[in-house]
Chains A and B, each alone.
Chain A
């Protein structure tokens, strides 16, 4: 069972455009993390959100955690080729062991110069 659905799966845009990717679930998460992965490397953490409705900004990236803590979005303003990569969301389930994170399948973003 896929607990986290990411959309779109693929996104190809031109440099300077804005974009939003989504991470949705029917489950409530105690925390949600976003990672970015480049080809042939391990994912690297971008941000962690833990409070419903929380908004975090990281330069041109804005992350939002849904009020019900079931979904999240990542918005990139004025995308650059360096933003290219696989964006993964991962959630820790509330009420149980937080040892395991559940990952979505990712959004593969390509920013063309």
Chain B
């Protein structure tokens, strides 16, 4: 069966510090991978998605970047965090076929102070 792992679960960082959130998927190959941000427990904003190694699409201009160094690894990064980067970050994967159902990780809570 497929599983998705996301870490760290919680992170408190000062403004201006770097960020790295990692996500890995097991039990499938060539998944579509996604990073979402959720503010105040409400709707999900798509930040990045990837349909293959090295292929990254950015949805909104921001202080973040994403990379996919391996087929089942997706990394969200920042060189210098802003206060506005605080939020709940969710990684997800899908097979990319049919209705493109997403399976989410458990999320990473980022607080920038």
Contact = CB atoms under 8 A, between A and B. Distances in A.
Bind each other = yes
Interface of A: 30-31, 33, 35, 39-45, 48, 50, 86, 88, 90, 92, 98-101, 103-106, 108
Contact of A41 (B32, B46, B51, B107): B107
Contacts of B100: 31, 92, 98-99, 101
A55 to B, nearest CB: 16
B109 A48 contact: no
Contacts, number: 64
A99 B49 contact: yes
Interface stretch (B37-45, B66-74, B75-83): B37-45
B99 A108 contact: no
7 closest pairs, A vs B, by CB?
A42-B104, A105-B43, A31-B99, A103-B44, A48-B99, A105-B42, A98-B100
B99 A50 contact: yes
Contacts of B32: 99
A90 B104 CA distance: 13
A101 B107 CA distance: 18
29 contacts: A31-B99, A33-B102, A35-B102, A39-B41, A40-B107, A40-B109, A42-B105, A42-B106, A43-B102, A43-B104, A44-B104, A45-B101, A45-B102, A48-B99, A90-B44, A92-B99, A92-B100, A98-B96, A98-B99, A98-B100, A99-B32, A99-B49, A99-B51, A99-B57, A100-B46, A101-B46, A101-B100, A105-B42, A108-B41
